[in-house]
């Protein structure tokens, strides 16, 4: 997987999380959901 492909997955996951949850939640909530989304896309660190 190239750096560009990884970056595309990350940006898309972040956009989807923000679109679904909207603004106003604690950063920790976004972090947990974002990590879950990346795990589902099999991008693990």
> Under a CB-based contact definition with an 8 Å cutoff, are residues 30 and 20 in contact?
no
Q: How many CA atoms are closer than 13 Å to the CA of 14, on its beta-carbon side? A: 8
Encode pLDDT of 1-45 as tens digits. Answer: 899 998 998 999 899 999 999 888 899 999 999 999 888 877 665
Non-local CB neighbours of 21 within 8 Å, separated by 6+ positions: 29, 30, 33
Non-local CB neighbours of 29 within 8 Å, separated by 6+ positions: 21
pLDDT at site 45: 59
The alpha carbon of 12 is separated from its chain's Cα centroid by a whole number of angstroms, namely: 7
């Amino acid at each position: 997987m190239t750096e560009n492909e990884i970056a595309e997955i990350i940006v898309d996951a972040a956009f989807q999380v923000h679109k679904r949850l909207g603004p106003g939640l604690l950063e920790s909530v976004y972090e947990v959901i974002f990590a879950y989304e990346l795990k589902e896309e099999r991008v693990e660190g």
